[in-house]
């Protein structure tokens, strides 16, 4: 009778929404996971902030450590799963210690990887162990593994995504109901889609970490946030949603990355106007979507739940099963970012002033003769061509909204033009400028 394969023993750092869901999934689907992974996968050690908190989990068979980084020192552990979060502190200490000891690591920590990913990947490779992070981008949407493995033979031209469920929920509600941003944000917090302090999400930092990681996979570069242009959704008004709809667009916060012939990356995180029939416009509610454009495959879309305990646990356990399969077969899991860490290139993000794009601008102006002429002259002086004007009604001497869309122009030219336009006595509020996504 063949000798049974011993279980893969997991040390789990973090027992919040995600960590608790990982624990339950490994228990509830234990037989299915064993059948598909080739060996049992079970949690043998845990760490969290409050040992006495009631979590509805049977932890009686698990070793407990008060300090997460101590999990890496346990002798009965084969893999560390980190779901603490944060670029530094206990999460970084644990992952570094585990890799240094030669333990595989699975993490959902996008901030850690976007900040220290290249160094951690190099450490993992030096010890011959995998560092897997499917759950760090788009939670249950299997975009990372597909890009690292299934699309490995393709040359990626562009990767773009709706990468933050909180922002997508807010934008979709504003669009569907005409609701104000602040009101929808309160609802999102009550529903658990937004944190009490939502800044990391709505100011674009969460999406920035994710697009930095996707860019690393897509273009074979070291993940970095340095120089990445990041704007959130705080300034998007219901009026912008309404005007965008009249023009045939939806407004979405997107992460975008392209690589220039020089090797530098262009893109960033910001609200975009995108055509209503664009694949990224259809991601509902708190879902995420990742669109990869590559040669020869063309367009590939990944869409699904981008947050939540179940979706994130699905991705984490999927990575654990990959490690279980590989160890059972004596195989190796691919490098963290698709290429060996030493082959990853330095690719800084280009200054946004060098980026050319089409733009939407909304101006609050005095309804008086000569206003459009003056604005047009300023745009002309910066070689910015106007595509369309949109104005509803008249209010002679009063305030009206004027919407202009442009053909492609350098962002630096648009920034200069907006500075001059904002100083016109007939312009009554700071101009609103949003990039229009074209050619995707």
Q: Please list the active-site residues.
A: 210
- State the CB neighbour count (10 A cutoff) for residue 58: 9
Cα separation values, 366 from 317, 371, 400, Å = 59, 8, 6
- Number of helices followed by number of strands (H, E) in the chain: 13, 16
Residue whose C-alpha is closest to residue 207's, from 325, 288, 321, 292: 288
Tell me the CA distances in angstroms from 58 to 61, 63, 309, 385, one per residue in order: 8, 12, 18, 65
- Contact, 187 vs 329, CB < 8 A? no
Q: Identify the three-state secondary structure at position 386.
A: strand
Q: Find the angle CA(344)-CA(258)-CA(359) to the nearest 5 degrees.
A: 155
Euclidean distance between CA atoms 93 and 396, whole angstroms: 64
Is residue 321 within 8 A of residue 380, CB to CB? The reply is no
- For the chain, state the CA radius of gyration: 24
Determine the length of the chain.
440
User: Which residues lie below 8 Å from residue 211, measured CB to CB, with a gap of 6+?
Assistant: 159, 161, 163, 228, 255, 256, 257, 267, 268, 269
């Amino acid at each position: 009778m063949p000798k049974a394969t011993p279980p893969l023993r997991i040390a789990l750092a973090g027992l919040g929404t995600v960590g608790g869901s990982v624990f339950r999934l490994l228990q509830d689907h234990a037989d299915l996971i064993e059948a598909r992974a080739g060996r049992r996968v079970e949690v043998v050690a845990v760490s969290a902030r409050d040992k006495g908190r009631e979590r509805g989990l049977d932890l009686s068979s698990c070793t407990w450590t008060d300090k997460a980084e101590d999990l890496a020192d346990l002798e009965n552990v084969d893999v560390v799963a980190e779901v603490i979060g944060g670029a530094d502190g206990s999460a970084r200490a644990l992952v570094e210690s585990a890799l240094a000891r030669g333990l595989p690591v699975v993490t959902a920590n996008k901030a850690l990887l976007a900040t220290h990913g290249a160094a951690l990947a190099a450490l993992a490779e030096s010890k011959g162990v995998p560092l897997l992070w499917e759950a760090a981008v788009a939670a249950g949407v299997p975009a990372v593994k597909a890009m690292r493995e299934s699309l490995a033979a393709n040359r990626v031209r562009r990767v773009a995504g709706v990468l933050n469920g909180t922002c997508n929920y807010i934008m979709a509600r504003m669009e569907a109901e005409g609701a104000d941003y602040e009101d929808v944000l309160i609802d999102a917090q009550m529903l658990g889609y937004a944190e009490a302090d939502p800044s990391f999400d709505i100011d674009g930092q969460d999406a920035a970490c994710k697009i930095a990681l996707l860019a690393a996979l897509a273009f074979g570069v070291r993940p970095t946030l340095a120089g990445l242009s990041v704007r959130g959704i705080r300034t998007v008004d219901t009026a912008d949603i309404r005007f965008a709809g009249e023009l045939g667009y939806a407004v979405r916060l997107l992460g975008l990355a392209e690589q220039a012939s020089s090797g530098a990356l262009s893109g960033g995180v910001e609200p975009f106007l995108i055509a209503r029939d664009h694949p990224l416009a259809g991601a509902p509610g708190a879902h995420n979507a990742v669109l990869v454009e590559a040669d020869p495959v063309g367009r590939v879309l990944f869409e699904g739940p981008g947050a939540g305990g179940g979706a994130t646990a699905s991705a984490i356990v999927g990575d654990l099963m990959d490690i279980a399969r590989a160890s059972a077969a004596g195989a190796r899991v691919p490098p963290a970012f698709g290429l060996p860490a030493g082959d990853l290139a330095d690719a800084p993000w280009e200054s946004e002033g060098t980026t050319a794009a089409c733009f939407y601008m909304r101006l609050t102006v005095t309804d008086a003769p000569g206003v459009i002429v003056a604005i047009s002259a300023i745009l002309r002086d910066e070689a910015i061509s106007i595509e369309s004007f949109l104005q509803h009604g008249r209010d002679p001497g009063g305030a009206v909204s004027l919407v202009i869309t442009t053909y492609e122009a350098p962002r630096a030219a648009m920034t200069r033009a907006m500075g001059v336009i904002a100083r016109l006595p007939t312009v009554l509020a700071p101009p609103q400028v949003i990039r229009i996504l074209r050619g995707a």
